[in-house]
Amino acid sequence: MGKLKNLNYKKIKKIGAGGYGEVYKCRNTVTGQKVAIKMMTIQTEQEGVPSYIIREVSLLKELEHENIVRLLDVQSSRKDVFLVFEYLDLDLHSFITRHKNTLNLLVIKAILKQILLGLAYCHSLKILHRDLKPNNLLIDLKSNTVKLADFGLARAIGVPQKEYSRDCVYSPYKAPELLLGYTGYSTPIDVWAVGCIFAEMITGKPLFPSKKHDHLSLIFRYLTDLTNYLNLAEKFPNLEPAGVDLLSQMLCLNPKQRITAMDALKHEYLIGVENVPLVLPSSSCISCQCCERNATLSDIIEQNRHALIKNLLKRDV
């Protein structure tokens, strides 16, 4: 990451990695702003910038919504492309893990609504995310905002609708039509993924924690019929009936009958839902500003302690 020195950014730490590159928390050396930089290496210079990078950048430049991560800048060197994003505190996976199955239902509603707001906006522009999972949902603890991120696998929906590749979503959140090999899929695959995330926020663990070869059989064992209402009510006894109904419509096996993101926002379970404070348990700590302030304070105390000892030694002499 020494390559960033020429781009006015200083690396703080590595915060993620994927098939297309690595993500670093950085600081702008001119403005002091913290950002997240996704660095992608161009494997073959002869072919120029790969199509998947061009596609991700073009989609992100088109998306402007408070529940979608902002692309601040795009820079490049001879062999690398750097996507500069706004920096957020943590992802939903970390948020769920640190709460240890104690997420308040009001918090779950607020998070779910924000995810659906971002997704409905994408779908209104005919864009599929195709990789929704807790790791790709980022949280800003200061503004209590949840944002969709990582559009590396996103696609614009063609007219007429075209076929897409099958392997586009990480297994626990993959819709059954994808597992059955259907390539003419559309927006319902994203809604299925959000349904799985909704269930995971309630239980604290993936709804279908399966390996690829038995994922489909696990779904059919879990959802015994097309309405699957009674089975879900038994699995989530603490979820109010309206929540069970919404979850059942999001996890409908038939994609044509699956609820849309826009209709899910109109469901009675989410009516009147407002943003609530998204806070971590008191025992949790993340690498954010509060930690950095504490670290700075500790350094000051340590420095003063050494100065005091030196003064005492001088007096003794």
Residues with active-site annotation: 131
Residues 218 and 210: beta-carbon distance below 8 Å: yes
Residue partners of 154: CB distance under 8 A and separation at least 6: 55, 56, 59, 122, 127, 128, 129, 130, 131
Element containing residue 124 per DSSP (H, E): helix 105-124
Q: In the numeric block, which tokens belong to residue 199? A: 């269930």
Structure tokens at 200: 């995971």
CB-based contacts of 273-277 (< 8 A; 24+ apart in sequence): 273/109, 273/110, 273/113, 274/110, 275/110, 275/114, 275/144, 275/145, 276/104, 276/106, 276/107, 276/110, 276/144, 277/144
Closest C-alpha to 54, from 28, 25, 81, 91: 81
Q: Interior CA angle at 135 toward 248 and 34, to 5°?
A: 140
Q: Strand, coil or helix: what is 52?
A: helix
- β-bridge partners, 91: 138
Alpha carbons 30 and 6: distance in angstroms, whole number = 12
- In 92-185, which ranges are E strands? 127-128, 137-140, 145-148, 155-156
Q: How many other β-carbons are positioned within 10 Å of the β-carbon of residue 202?
A: 19
- Tracing tokens 């006894």 back to the chain, one arrives at 237
Query: CA 35 to CA 27: how far, in whole Å?
Result: 6
